[in-house]
Structures are given as C-alpha cells and as structure tokens.
Amino acid sequence: MPEGQIRKALSGFYYVYYKGETYQTRGRGNFRKRDLTPLVGDYVLFESGNLSEGVVQELLPRKNELVRPTVANVDIGVVVMSAIEPNFSTNLLDRFLVTLESKGIQAIIYISKIDLLTEELFQELKEKQQDYEKMGYILIVPEPTDNKKSLEKLTSYFPNNLTVFMGQSGAGKSTLLNSIAPDLLLKTAEISSSLGRGKHTTRHVELLPLYDGLVADTPGFSSIDFLELEAEELSSCFPEFVEVQDQCRFRGCMHKKEPGCQVKKDVESHAIPEYRYKHYLQFLNEIESRKPRYDNKDKK
C-alpha cells in the first residue's frame, strides 16, 4: 500500500501527494468511530485505482499538530510580529514561542513594518533581538529600506521542512507570504483601525511546494491560550530556564517561590531578561487557574 502525504483537505476529500501525482481520496469509513481525523500534513497509507477515486486506509503516527491552521507534522513556525501598528509585544511573542516549544516546532521570528520605526525604537528592537538570539532563537529584522536579504534568509530554512506562518493580527502575515510567493495571491487584510487589530482572512489549508519545502498557504492564529499545556510542562518551553534548571536546589522546581532557584538568581543578575520571567509567571497563573474541560462524551 503506497504511503503519501495529505497536501489539501476540502469538502470531505483528502488530496494525497505520492510520487509527483496528487490523488483525490476519501477517509476510511471507520475513522469516525475510531475518533480519527486526517489532517493536512499527515502521512497516510492509501489505495487508489485512479487519480480521482482513492481511500485513505491508515493514518501514520504524527509528531505534532496545530489547531489553527489545522496542520500536522510541522517543522518550522514563522512567527510574524510587527514592529509597530500594532506595537511589538514580547508577551504575545512569548505566547507563540511557548506554543511552538511545547510541540517541538522550531521557531523563526520575523519582524515586519521596520520602515515605520523611529531610530530610537529601532535600537530598542535590536536590543530585544540580542535577547532572543542569546536564548537560541532566530530573529530576522529586515533592513528598513530593503527586505530582500531578510527574505532570502527566511526562505533558506524552507528546504525539506513543513513551514507554517503565524503571528499577531495586522502584522502582515499574508503580505509576507505574498512577497515570498507572489503567485499565491493571498487575500491581505487591512488593519481595522477601530479595533486596532487585523481582520481574519482564513480559508481551507493547502500545502504548497516552495523553495524545496512545503508551506501552509493559510496564516495561523493571532491569539494564544494554553489549553493543552500543563503547569509542570511550562518551564521546559523556556530554553533559557532549561539551560540552568539542573542547578536549582529542588528537582522539579517551578521557579516560583522555591529557595535555591537558579532561574530566579539568573533573573536577578540579568542573565535572563526580567520580562521573560514575568511572562512565565503570568502564563503559569493562567494555566493553574484554567477551568477543567469536560468532553461531551464524559457528560452523563
């Protein structure tokens, strides 16, 4: 049975790519009973007599999945953050980074609207760039007058990877995708000045071959809640915490009120930026105060 990859899902059909051809398939009848939903990006075993009539027989294990956009087996998440209008927010950026870390997805941060910054704000942004690069993140700040080099750097990570774009509303995710691949003709959304954030222009997800890799053509979520993350897992999503947590006095230290916490020591000595630690405590509080969720099947 051939192994292919779902590159598009639309109206109950799954479009499976295999050896240079795309096969239109339907999901096997018992998927619903088994609570299985094939996703774009899934590797599958399928049977097909021709290009327009096939059946996905089995889903192969996936390494991760995102909800918005609904894609499986993602390698890279490009987080698009605007420098201004809306203003650059380390809090929102850290929400995206935590989500990507929790799913084992490499993050690349791309800053848009550099040309609108004053020199003073540009220098502040460069300081933040140093912070995140020290943590091990790739942060791309285009030149104010020319983004050609920054686009070349960004697309150099595409080969052999499945890449998804995400970021705050109004940051220009669709515009950036358009500039990378003009033939995508993605609808760009203008900023709604009354709301101060972008309007959504989402549709079905399709994986497009670009720069020897695959790119999801629909930009992802603009706000983050930590519904899938447990409190004990949060610190592992901060790489600079992971680097020093073995030096904490207590194993399983939550870096909150415990004595002998190396993370807190590093915050005090400015080895870890204070704003990152504040965000950690805020996110931890959000997770700990989250109401328990009950699935319908659990209700009597």
Rounded distance, CA 119 to CA 139, Å? 19
Cα angle 116, 218, 207; round to 5: 130
> What pLDDT does 198 receive?
43
Residue 183 labelled as part of a binding site: no
Residue 237 labelled as part of a binding site: no
pTM: 0.87
Residue 248 labelled as part of a binding site: yes
Mean pLDDT score across all residues of the chain: 87
Residue 115 labelled as part of a binding site: yes
Task: Match 């993602």 to its residue by tokens.
Answer: 74
Task: Match 């995508």 to its residue by tokens.
Answer: 184
**Residues lower than pLDDT 70 in the chain:** 183-203, 292-300
Long-range pairs for 60-64 at CB < 8 Å and ≥24 separation? 60/3, 63/104, 64/103, 64/104, 64/105
* String of DSSP letters for 233-248: HHGGG-HHHHHHGGGS
Rounded distance, CA 158 to CA 77, Å? 11
Residues 45-80 have pLDDT tens digits of: 999 988 999 999 999 999 999 988 899 999 999 999
Residue 171 labelled as part of a binding site: yes
> What pLDDT does 90 receive?
95
In this structure, the dihedral spanned by the alpha carbons of residues 185, 97, 63 and 207, taken in order and rounded to 10 degrees, is: 0
Q: Tokens representing 215?
A: 């790119």
Q: Determine the residue type at 143.
A: E
Residue 189 labelled as part of a binding site: no
Q: Tokens representing 85?
A: 């209008």
Picking from 94, 117, 110, the residue whose alpha carbon sits closest to that of residue 226 is: 94
Residue 11 labelled as part of a binding site: no
Name the DSSP letter for residue 253.
Answer: -
Structural domains in the chain, CATH included, are 3-61 (2.40.50.140), 66-216 (3.40.50.300), 231-288 (1.10.40.50)
Q: For strands 71-72 and 65-66, give the pairing.
A: antiparallel
Neighbours of 108 (CB within 10 A): 19
> What pLDDT does 186 receive?
56
Residue 174 labelled as part of a binding site: yes
Neighbours of 240 (CB within 10 A): 20
Residue 246 labelled as part of a binding site: no
Residue 261 labelled as part of a binding site: yes
Residue 155 labelled as part of a binding site: no
